[in-house]
């Protein structure tokens, strides 16, 4: 129970971080656009985008580091943790060197020969490339330190550092108003400097609290590097499949329907990312315990966590998703004014896709913990890359633009079924338990919330109507989850937590 409370506490910390960094990020985006202007902001987005695309590899490195460190921590062998940390450091240093060489050779060549920009801005673009590249390398090198803090579930530390980074970014864009010339270069330098400061904080913290774990000692065992590299390679296949499908779909859609439909699809993806950000916090808080429980031999707890995690992530995403789906047309009108065609249906289908993906929360972490990831990563990449020729053919036959999201949903369901099959072979995972503990509660709640769509008949399209619908919808959804989605033990925990909160509140109110 204590470990479960840790997940709840860490989730709360991550939610607070999400709220603060989102507000700061939105305000900072507004200021940077005003200070740089549309042209320089666009230039920074394009050149920074080159680095971001290459930095997708960094996502793979993070997953690899978190997996290896969490597994070793679960085994509770500090010497082995130190050995793994140093192995990961070597791999990340090599990757950082390759990344900077790639940027300095191919990146410079691209900017000088193909970047569609005013010739007078080439020097600015190169400056941005250099310092964005340096920032990316620093971000790569500190991944093992971040992985160590994450695997030990020091989410309060991670949250504090990330909030500090957001605050420094806001300070950097605010200071731009005091610069008259070369604002783009100044901003690129500030971003690099902030990344350097954040990296030093991670390193200093780790050396103070994990001194024996981060002590440098070169690992000469080639098989360790081979194991990490192999795991990294299959994670790369997974990432390539994901990114390739997303970018390929965008290009195919552009061929058939033009940039307007690309905008609609992009907006839908943004809405889905916003809703899914609520889910990511619970996933981040639970995944280290899933891996550590598995590696320590407590496979039953690891599986129980993924049954519950899949259910709760679905419910958490459902709470903001339902009011958004009920009022999507009005939300888009208020937000965008000029709404591209098909945006609303894209949003609805993307949200459904996101809800289905919630049902496999924790699956990847458990499979990763076994180390036997080849089949899963290969199947995912092959399945979703197959989406590209399918949607091309469907568009050729005259299907509507949103068919791409329907194909995505079908592919996600197929992948969910495949993962349950793999988990059954690799672990003690029981489909019958997954159905009874996760799928059935989700179905019951989904049936109960369906009548909410009748709310649209009683309200108009104004802001006040939206607020009323949202409040009523959230209340009805929460009640549906409580009565139809939770078991007796889960309801008892909630009642105890509410009672404790009320008791604390009463005591504070009685104080003179």
Report d(CA 508, CA 506) in Å as an integer.
5
Helix ranges restricted to H, 359-462: 363-370, 374-396, 403-426, 431-434, 440-449
User: Positive or negative, the Cα torsion across 191, 194, 200, 204?
Assistant: negative
pLDDT higher than 80, residue 122: yes
Q: 284-298, 345-359, 378-392, 413-427 — which is least confidently predicted?
A: 284-298
- Residue 213 within a domain: yes
H or E element in which residue 324 lies: helix 299-326
Say which residues have a Cβ less than 8 Å from residue 145's Cβ, sequence separation at least 6.
Answer: 202, 203, 205, 206, 214
Q: Residue 205, Cβ neighbours under 10 Å: how many?
A: 18
- Residue 79 within a domain: yes
- Residue 149 within a domain: yes
Torsion angle defined by CA atoms of residues 369, 374, 376 and 380, in that order, rounded to the nearest 10 degrees: 130
Predicted local confidence at residue 147, as pLDDT: 86
Q: pLDDT tens digit string along 33-87?
A: 677 776 776 666 666 655 555 555 666 677 778 778 888 887 778 888 899 999 9
Over range 459-467, report the average pLDDT: 78
> Could you tell me if 244 and 103 are in contact, meaning their C-beta atoms sit under 8 angstroms apart?
no
Predicted local confidence at residue 1, as pLDDT: 47
Six-digit token string for 310: 């899949």
| Local confidence band at 103 (pLDDT 50, 70, 90 cut-offs) | confident
Predicted local confidence at residue 5, as pLDDT: 63
Predicted local confidence at residue 413, as pLDDT: 95
Q: How many domains does the chain have?
A: 1
Q: pLDDT tens digit string along 199-236?
A: 999 999 999 999 999 998 888 888 888 888 888 788 77
Which DSSP category does 177 fall into?
G
Instruction: Give residue 177's domain range.
Output: 1-220
- Residue 60 within a domain: yes
Report d(CA 356, CA 335) in Å as an integer.
26
Q: 173-182, 188-197, 205-214, 300-309 — which is least confidently predicted?
A: 173-182
Report d(CA 89, CA 347) in Å as an integer.
41
Predicted local confidence at residue 259, as pLDDT: 64
- Residue 160 within a domain: yes
Over range 330-335, report the average pLDDT: 78
- Residue 241 within a domain: no
Q: Is 238 helix (H, G, I), strand (E, B) or coil?
A: helix
- Residue 93 within a domain: yes
Predicted local confidence at residue 38, as pLDDT: 62
Over range 169-196, report the average pLDDT: 85
- Residue 101 within a domain: yes
> Could you tell me if 369 and 287 are in contact, meaning their C-beta atoms sit under 8 angstroms apart?
no
Predicted local confidence at residue 511, as pLDDT: 60
> Could you tell me if 414 and 376 are in contact, meaning their C-beta atoms sit under 8 angstroms apart?
no
Q: pLDDT tens digit string along 385-407?
A: 999 999 999 999 999 988 989 99
Q: 250-259, 361-370, 472-481 — which is least confidently predicted?
A: 250-259
Predicted local confidence at residue 287, as pLDDT: 73
């Amino acid at each position: 129970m204590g470990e479960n409370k840790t997940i709840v506490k860490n989730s709360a910390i991550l939610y607070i971080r999400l709220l603060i960094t989102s507000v700061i990020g939105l305000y900072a985006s507004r200021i940077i656009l005003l200070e740089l202007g549309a042209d320089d902001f666009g230039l920074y987005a394009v050149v920074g985008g080159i680095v971001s695309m290459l930095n997708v590899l960094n996502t793979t490195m993070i997953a690899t580091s978190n997996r290896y460190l969490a597994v070793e921590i679960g085994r509770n062998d500090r010497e082995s943790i130190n050995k793994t940390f140093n192995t990961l450091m070597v791999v990340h240093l090599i990757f950082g060197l390759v990344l900077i060489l790639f940027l300095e050779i191919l990146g410079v060549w691209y900017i000088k020969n193909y970047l569609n920009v005013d010739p007078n801005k080439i020097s600015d673009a190169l400056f941005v490339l250099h310092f964005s590249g340096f920032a990316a390398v620093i971000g790569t090198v500190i991944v093992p330190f971040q992985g160590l803090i994450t695997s030990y579930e020091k989410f309060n530390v991670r949250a504090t550092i990330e909030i500090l980074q957001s605050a420094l970014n806001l300070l950097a864009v605010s200071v731009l108003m005091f610069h008259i010339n070369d604002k783009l270069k100044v901003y690129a330098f500030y971003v690099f400097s902030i990344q350097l400061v954040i990296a030093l904080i991670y390193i200093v913290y780790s050396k103070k609290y994990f001194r024996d774990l981060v002590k440098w000692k070169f690992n000469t065992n080639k098989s360790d590097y081979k194991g990490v590299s192999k795991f990294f390679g299959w994670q790369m296949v997974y990432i390539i499949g994901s990114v390739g499908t997303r970018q390929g779909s965008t290009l195919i859609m552009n061929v058939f329907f033009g940039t307007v439909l690309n905008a609609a699809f992009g907006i839908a993806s943004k809405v889905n990312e916003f809703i899914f950000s609520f889910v990511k916090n619970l996933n981040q808080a639970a995944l280290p315990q899933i891996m550590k429980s598995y590696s320590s031999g407590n496979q039953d707890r690891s599986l129980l966590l993924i049954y519950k995690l899949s259910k709760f992530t679905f419910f958490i995403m459902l709470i903001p998703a339902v009011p958004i789906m009920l009022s999507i047309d009005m939300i888009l009108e208020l937000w965008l004014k000029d709404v591209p065609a098909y945006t609303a249906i894209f949003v609805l289908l993307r949200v459904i896709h996101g809800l289905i993906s919630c049902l496999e929360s924790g699956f990847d972490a458990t499979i990763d913990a076994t180390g036997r990831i080849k089949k899963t990563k290969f199947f995912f990449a092959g399945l979703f890359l197959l989406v590209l020729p399918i949607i091309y053919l469907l568009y050729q036959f005259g299907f509507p633009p949103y068919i791409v999201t329907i194909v995505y949903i079908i592919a996600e369901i197929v992948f969910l079924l495949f993962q349950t099959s793999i988990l059954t072979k690799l672990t003690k995972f029981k489909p019958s338990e997954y159905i009874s503990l996760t799928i059935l509660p989700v179905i019951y709640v989904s049936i109960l919330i369906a009548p909410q769509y009748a709310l649209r008949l009683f309200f108009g399209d104004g802001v006040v109507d939206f607020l009323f619908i949202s409040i009523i919808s959230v209340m009805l959804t929460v009640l549906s989850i409580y009565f139809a989605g939770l078991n007796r033990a889960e309801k008892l925990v909630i009642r105890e937590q509410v009672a404790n909160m009320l008791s604390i509140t009463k005591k504070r109110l009685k104080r003179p």
